[in-house]
Amino acid sequence: MTLTIKDFAFRPNTLSAPGGQQSTVTITNQDSVTHSFTLNDGGVSRDVPPGQTVQVTVPFPASGTAGFHCRFHATMTGTLRAA
């Protein structure tokens, strides 16, 4: 699955995958500053330099949702949803 960072926002801002499983997320930063993909529980945090693409393995919640954000820009948030 893919996630794009553009104009200080995650697109899409909700990612869905089977509950309780790990998924690889490919993240591309189209902004001119470094952002991060950080789970709210701190379990995963990966910086994404400007113009770069990284891959991160993300554990999805067994049920319900969990949050993620950019540790540099508090207004950038998103949701992981168990499908």
Q: Which band of pLDDT confidence, cut at 50, 70 and 90, is reported for residue 14?
A: very high
Q: Which band of pLDDT confidence, cut at 50, 70 and 90, is reported for residue 53?
A: very high
What is this structure's pTM?
0.95
Average pLDDT, the chain: 97
CATH number of 2-82: 2.60.40.420
Q: What pLDDT, on a 0 to 100 scale, did the predictor assign at position 25?
A: 98
Q: Which band of pLDDT confidence, cut at 50, 70 and 90, is reported for residue 22?
A: very high
Element at 32 (helix H, strand E): none
Q: Which band of pLDDT confidence, cut at 50, 70 and 90, is reported for residue 65?
A: very high
Q: What are the domain boundaries of the chain?
A: 2-82
